[in-house]
Amino acid sequence: MKEPLKLGIAGLGTVGAGLLELIAKHGSGLEETLERRIVVTGVCARNRDKVRGFAIGDAVWFDDAVTLATDANIDCFVELIGGDEGPARAAVEAALKVKKHVVTANKALLAKHGMELAKLAEKSGVSLNFEAAVAGGIPVIKMLREALAANEVKRVYGILNGTCNYILSKMQDEHLAFDDVLKDAQAKGYAEADPTFDIGGFDAAHKLALLTSLAFGTKLPADQIHIEGIQTINAADIEAAHSLGYRIKLLGVAERTSTGIEARVHPAFVPEEAPIAQVSGVTNCVAIEGDFSGSVLLVGPGAGSKPTASAVASDIVDVARGLVLPPFLKPVAQLKPFKRANLSGHYGSYYIRLSVLDRPGAMASIAKRMGDRGVSLESIVQKKPGTSDAAAPVVLITHETTEENIRKALDAIEADGKVAARPQMIRIEEL
């Protein structure tokens, strides 16, 4: 029997509690499988006196995460604190410097400091594992680092934020307004009091940055991702999508192009018959397209105590087995600089919603502006305004064109003063 693997766990919130429960329930089974015990020897959290509803057993309490991370009586530091700076960063750096393995669920920390932390891990010859940082219980990091490592990945995309997927699903299924569904999501704990990080697309962008680096062997592109949130999606967009045979999803997409890698987070129309369109509620999904594997779709819970704890535990099992891989599949020195494709060259179809003022020649002017930029229209649907003096809602579906053309056409339409509000543009993704 090997020596026990001794864990120090920093952060005893939802995921920390789930991890302790998992170890208590399945520890003996893991010991038989690994021929090695997994033991929690130290824990740390902000409030020692908080009533948590679970026991920490014989683990020693630490008031400081860095002290726990460097304690001689742990082999593996499990960081579940969160945040891209402060105690999380300091403790992870400290652990790696003294050659402790690190398991983290902290996507924000990795998106901002992943390269320097990976260098530390490589220098010390230890693991920096982060399965739980992307898509909760879905094993997408292992899929890219291990199962699909022999493939050239062409594209990776998916639903990476459960809050946004819950809001958009409920808006479509129950015909509710965005603000009402957001309040419901906050009441159920799916959205924070300040939901900007989720609904603004930033959470999904952090996750996409990690997937992009793994999929394409590049340095992290955290500041190179095009981000749009779902704040502007309203009932008219949801209704139009349904009438046209689509559903609206917030997607994270990274794909190779002839000019570089497109990495983007934004709402998109996806065909109702596409598997990703059927993923509802707080569920996440990730699709990976490899040159030999074909398209692989992973679907599962994107957050929550047990699914995330399961992902953390899978990383701990790898440490117990002695499996040490470069955090981003290749050593940092071998990762290529991220070459960002110019999104203006993106080629596809678009949904456009306009609030057209009741003025002579308004529609003719709009059609001319589209034609001036070579944008061909597949369909035009105009609905009656709610009142006699209100702007008329007009929905346009374009044939395939470049992002540059459609944006310049919309800028010109807005500048002409024929619309009452900024045009709504949503990309159509034929997945």
What sign results for the dihedral spanned by CA atoms 103, 108, 111, 117?
Answer: negative
Residues 84, 82: Cα–Cα separation, whole Å = 7
**Which of 100, 207, 219, 330 does the annotation list as catalytic?**
207
For residue 97, give every residue at least 6 positions away whose Cβ sits within 8 Å of its Cβ, in sequence order, or none: 120, 124
Residues 20, 39: Cα–Cα separation, whole Å = 10
DSSP one-letter string for 31-65? HHHHTS-EEEEEEE-S-TT---SS--TTPEEES-H
- 3-class state of residue 410 by DSSP: helix
Residues 95, 76: Cα–Cα separation, whole Å = 8
Q: Specify whether the CB–CB gap between 137 and 301 falls below 8 A.
A: yes
What sign results for the dihedral spanned by CA atoms 53, 59, 64, 70?
Answer: negative
Q: Give the Cβ contact number of residue 125 at 10 Å.
A: 9
Residues 140, 133: Cα–Cα separation, whole Å = 10
Residues 185, 164: Cα–Cα separation, whole Å = 9
Residues 55, 43: Cα–Cα separation, whole Å = 11
| Proportion of the chain in helix, strand, coil states, percent, rounded to 5 | 40, 25, 35
| Structure tokens given for 10 | 């920093």
Residues 89, 110: Cα–Cα separation, whole Å = 9
Asked about 339 being catalytic, the answer comes back as: no
* Catalytic residue list: 207
